[in-house]
């Protein structure tokens, strides 16, 4: 490969939390295609993370698997240590890790609500806090919300409460990073064809949701990964924003 054809972001390093499957895995592959070395973070899916890393390295890319509870600051500090040791630093952090339990607000199990808050809110805080002090100048922090903060679908109340918090946190973080040349944005996907989204839905429900956007289809993990790659690399003038990647649904 000649220098003129080197990937655009060769030498940059990204951490993708929840990188072992669904949207996270697509983000990992998209950033690798741009030349990033990537830390593929996982919590409970080690074989999937290791298989993804093996596939990337076999194709000439650069990646390692890293593990830790996103809500545990010591565990995630160790993840940053691993990436710095392996690749020399961290430039981009993408928080795709999250959990979702659907239930009407009137009957939601409050233990489920606490679990979602721990991963989706505290986890985003922990990883963003570490990123704010450890990623290099010119870097980017990309958090994840959901288009349901706008569409307000029933049974999503607990989940949307956690993602509304993420949308509130991120522009404040962007302003607190003044002078460091680090952007902070949020991606809010619409209905996307992932195992998490499809689980428990019948064909009629899936078809109805697919028909809702003007583009009349479900999003793909690759669609969402394109939005992340934009914010991670060329979108240096986009900061403190929520990018709704939903085909025009809302």
User: For residue 134, which phi and psi values (nearest 5 degrees)?
Assistant: -125, -15
Residue 207: other Cβ atoms inside 10 A:
12
What 3-state class would DSSP assign to 241?
coil
Residue given tokens 């991670």 in the structure block = 232
Please pick, among 9, 36, 42, 159, the residue that the annotation labels catalytic. Answer: 159
Does residue 9 carry a catalytic annotation?
A: no
Strands 92-95 and 62-67: unpaired
CA-wise closest residue to 220 among 194, 196, 199: 194
Alpha helices (runs of H) in 101-191, residue ranges in sequence order? 110-116, 123-134, 148-151, 157-176
Which of the residues are catalytic?
159
């Amino acid at each position: 490969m000649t220098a003129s054809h080197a990937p655009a972001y060769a030498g940059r390093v990204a951490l993708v939390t929840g990188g072992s499957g669904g949207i996270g895995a697509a983000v990992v592959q998209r950033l690798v295609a741009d030349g990033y070395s990537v830390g593929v973070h996982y919590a409970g899916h080690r074989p999937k993370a290791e298989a993804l890393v093996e596939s990337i390295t076999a194709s000439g890319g650069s990646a390692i698997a890293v593990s830790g509870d996103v809500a545990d600051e010591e565990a995630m500090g160790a993840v940053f240590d691993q990436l710095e040791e392996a690749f020399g630093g961290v430039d981009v952090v993408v928080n795709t890790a999250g959990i979702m339990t659907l239930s009407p607000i009137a009957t939601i199990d409050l233990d489920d609500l606490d679990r979602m808050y721990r991963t989706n809110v505290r986890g985003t805080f922990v990883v963003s806090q570490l990123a704010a002090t450890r990623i290099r100048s010119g870097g980017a922090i990309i958090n994840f919300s959901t288009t349901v903060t706008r569409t307000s679908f029933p049974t999503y109340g607990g989940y949307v409460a956690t993602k509304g918090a993420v949308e509130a946190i991120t522009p404040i973080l962007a302003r607190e990073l003044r002078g460091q040349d680090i952007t902070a944005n949020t991606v809010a996907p619409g209905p996307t064809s992932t195992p998490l989204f499809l689980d428990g839905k019948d064909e009629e429900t899936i078809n109805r949701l697919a028909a809702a956007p003007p583009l009349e289809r479900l999003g793909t993990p690759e669609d969402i990964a394109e939005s992340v790659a934009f914010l991670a690399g060329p979108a240096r003038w986009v900061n403190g924003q929520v990018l709704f990647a939903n085909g025009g649904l809302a």
